[in-house]
């Protein structure tokens, strides 16, 4: 055994998984582990999985051949799998294809890791002390200036195509006091941008509303009031959140978009522009209701950049249904869309009730139509920034070029020789614009 045990952690999927991995890394560091990029020298290998698409799960199965060989050479290495795969695999059907895996547990059970590792490898860990709530484990953040803050886990919405309610359970909101304590800790350690995470983050309800300040102007005792409290913490300059659900975009949440630290960006998944498809997806809003929310958002913050998620080729989506999505895209004038080609997920209602009847090539074609539309729109919108100043959170400085995101979540690059600017927010005057990036010069 090496002097200090080593762990190798691979994260798939969304920002929530990344934040969960930061907690696992924090927990393992407390147990005396150090991280390694090389799985061949690790004592403990952990894959944090995603189940949103079949391809994400296939990648995990693909790793198993390597791990069987690794186990032959080093039987003592512990291999663990957490995240959405074990979360949704209540009957452990998927586990059958993961033979070399020793530990297979849903995310919230990471609290048991000290005990499980001590049982399997008493030479690595000799303490089995554990926290009862995994969200109280201190994350080991990869960035000093940006940090994720999970405010909610699980989801009650049961969109017919989605595995999340099965993989992560029903919606559970963290107490306000815990969230504010974590946010103050982030502020003290220099975090400038906080990203609030939840599956439907804007449906947040505080279980301890008595902890809201008396001066808080929002009466919802929910997400808008939380945003106001976070705006009062000195230090962080930007607050960003994902992902929102249209049905929880209350008037108060829309009003809170005008709070000073709110980034100039809203990500509001729409999934389809057709009422028939939205109903089959169990999204519980109509195209008209979505457009009404967008109109209110634009009235509250006229220059806000808008992003969305769209699924093309959902069961029963005809060419005419798809055209309704295209027209909605144009009506809203989105800055960006994360478009996915529908793939049925076992265990979901859509998989049980509907046939996956849109051919693969047609899904790809629809995806390309939206992709082209997005590029055209993004270029036009980015060109509107030329000669204007934007604030940029610098993520890195490499080879004389700094890059980071603007408040509109657009990639911006500018010449910069000072690597100490990484992690700082600076003003940049935009000189050129392309589909996926804008270029400029720092304003000094």
Handedness of CA 129, 131, 134, 139 (dihedral sign): negative
- Give me the least distance between CB of 157 and ligand SF4, in Å please: 4
- Give me the least distance between CB of 340 and ligand SF4, in Å please: 11
Q: Kindly compute the dihedral angle of the four CA atoms of residues 211, 217, 223, 228, in this order, to the nearest 10 degrees.
A: -80
- Give me the least distance between CB of 164 and ligand SF4, in Å please: 4
| Spatial contact of 199 and 153, defined as CB atoms under 8 Å apart | yes
Cβ proximity to ligand SF4, 48 vs 242, nearer residue: 242
| Spatial contact of 365 and 319, defined as CB atoms under 8 Å apart | no
Cβ proximity to ligand SF4, 309 vs 323, nearer residue: 309
Cβ proximity to ligand SF4, 163 vs 256, nearer residue: 163
Could you tell me which of 353, 351, 272, 343 has the C-alpha nearest to residue 308?
272
Cβ proximity to ligand SF4, 33 vs 166, nearer residue: 166
- Give me the least distance between CB of 100 and ligand SF4, in Å please: 30
- Interacting residues of 372 by C-beta distance below 8 A, sequence separation 6+: none
- Interacting residues of 314 by C-beta distance below 8 A, sequence separation 6+: 161, 272, 277, 280, 281, 342, 350, 358
Cβ proximity to ligand SF4, 11 vs 199, nearer residue: 199
- Give me the least distance between CB of 230 and ligand SF4, in Å please: 22
State which H helix or E strand residue 426 sits in.
strand 425-433
Cβ proximity to ligand SF4, 200 vs 403, nearer residue: 200
The DSSP bridge pattern shows strands 193-197 and 305-312 to be unpaired
Which token pair is 12? 């798939």
| Spatial contact of 6 and 125, defined as CB atoms under 8 Å apart | no
Cβ proximity to ligand SF4, 165 vs 407, nearer residue: 165
Cβ proximity to ligand SF4, 14 vs 390, nearer residue: 14
Q: How many angstroms separate the Cα of 372 from the Cα of each of 160, 325, 381, 383? A: 28, 14, 14, 17
| Spatial contact of 15 and 197, defined as CB atoms under 8 Å apart | yes
Strand partners, 83: 49
Cβ proximity to ligand SF4, 200 vs 308, nearer residue: 200
> Which pairs with CB-CB distance under 8 Å and at least 24 residues apart come from 397-404?
397/421, 397/422, 402/426, 402/442
| Spatial contact of 198 and 227, defined as CB atoms under 8 Å apart | no
Residue with tokens 């890059």: 403
- Give me the least distance between CB of 9 and ligand SF4, in Å please: 24
Cβ proximity to ligand SF4, 199 vs 315, nearer residue: 199
What is the C-alpha to C-alpha distance for residues 67 and 81, in angstroms, rounded to an integer?
12
Cβ proximity to ligand SF4, 45 vs 52, nearer residue: 52
- Give me the least distance between CB of 163 and ligand SF4, in Å please: 8
- Give me the least distance between CB of 204 and ligand SF4, in Å please: 13
- Give me the least distance between CB of 199 and ligand SF4, in Å please: 4
- Give me the least distance between CB of 76 and ligand SF4, in Å please: 38
State which H helix or E strand residue 11 sits in.
strand 6-11
> Strands (DSSP E) along 28-90, which ranges?
34-35, 44-49, 78-83
- Give me the least distance between CB of 168 and ligand SF4, in Å please: 8
What is the C-alpha to C-alpha distance for residues 145 and 421, in angstroms, rounded to an integer?
11
How many residues are given for the chain?
Answer: 444
Instruction: Tell me which residues touch ligand SF4 (CB under 6 A).
Output: 155, 157-159, 162, 164-165, 199-200, 245
């Amino acid at each position: 055994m090496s002097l200090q045990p080593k762990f190798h952690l691979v994260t798939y999927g969304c920002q929530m998984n990344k934040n969960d991995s930061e907690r696992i890394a924090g927990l393992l560091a407390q147990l005396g582990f150090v991280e390694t990029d090389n799985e061949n020298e690790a004592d403990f290998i952990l894959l944090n999985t995603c189940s949103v698409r079949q391809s994400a799960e296939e990648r995990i199965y693909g790793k198993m051949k390597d791990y069987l060989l690794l186990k032959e050479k080093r039987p003592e290495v512990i291999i663990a799998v957490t995240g959405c795969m074990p979360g949704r695999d209540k009957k452990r059907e998927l586990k059958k294809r993961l033979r070399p895996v020793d530990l297979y547990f849903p995310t919230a059970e990471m609290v048991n890791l000290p005990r499980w590792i001590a049982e399997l490898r008493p030479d690595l860990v000799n303490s089995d002390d554990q926290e009862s709530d995994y969200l109280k484990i201190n994350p080991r953040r990869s960035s000093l200036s940006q940090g994720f803050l999970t405010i909610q886990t699980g989801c009650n919405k049961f969109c017919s195509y989605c595995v999340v309610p099965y993989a992560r359970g029903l919606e559970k909101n963290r107490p306000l006091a815990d969230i504010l304590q974590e946010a103050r800790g982030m502020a003290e350690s220099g975090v400038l941008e906080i990203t609030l995470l939840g599956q439907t983050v804007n449906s947040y309800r505080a279980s301890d509303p008595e902890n809201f300040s008396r001066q808080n102007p929002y009466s919802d005792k929910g997400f808008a009031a939380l945003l106001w409290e976070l705006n009062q913490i000195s230090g962080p300059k930007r607050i960003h959140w994902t992902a929102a659900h249209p049905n929880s975009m209350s008037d108060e949440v829309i009003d809170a978009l005008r709070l000073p630290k709110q980034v100039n960006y809203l990500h509001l998944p729409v999934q389809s522009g057709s009422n028939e498809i939205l109903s089959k997806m169990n999204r519980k809003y109509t195209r008209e209701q979505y457009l009404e929310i967008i109109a209110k958002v634009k009235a509250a913050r006229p220059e806000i950049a808008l992003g969305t998620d769209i699924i093309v080729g959902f069961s029963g989506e005809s060419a005419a249904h798809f055209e309704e999505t295209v027209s909605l895209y144009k009506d809203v004038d989105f800055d960006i869309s994360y478009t996915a080609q529908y793939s049925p997920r076992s265990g979901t209602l859509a998989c049980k009730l509907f046939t996956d009847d849109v051919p693969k090539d047609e899904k790809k074609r629809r995806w390309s139509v939206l992709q082209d539309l997005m590029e055209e729109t993004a270029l036009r919108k980015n060109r509107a920034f030329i000669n204007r100043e934007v604030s940029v959170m610098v993520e890195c400085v490499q080879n004389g070029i700094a890059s980071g995101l603007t408040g509109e979540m657009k990639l911006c690059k500018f010449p910069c020789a000072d690597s100490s600017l990484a992690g700082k927010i600076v003003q940049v005057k935009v000189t050129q614009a392309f589909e996926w990036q804008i270029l400029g010069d720092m304003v000094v």
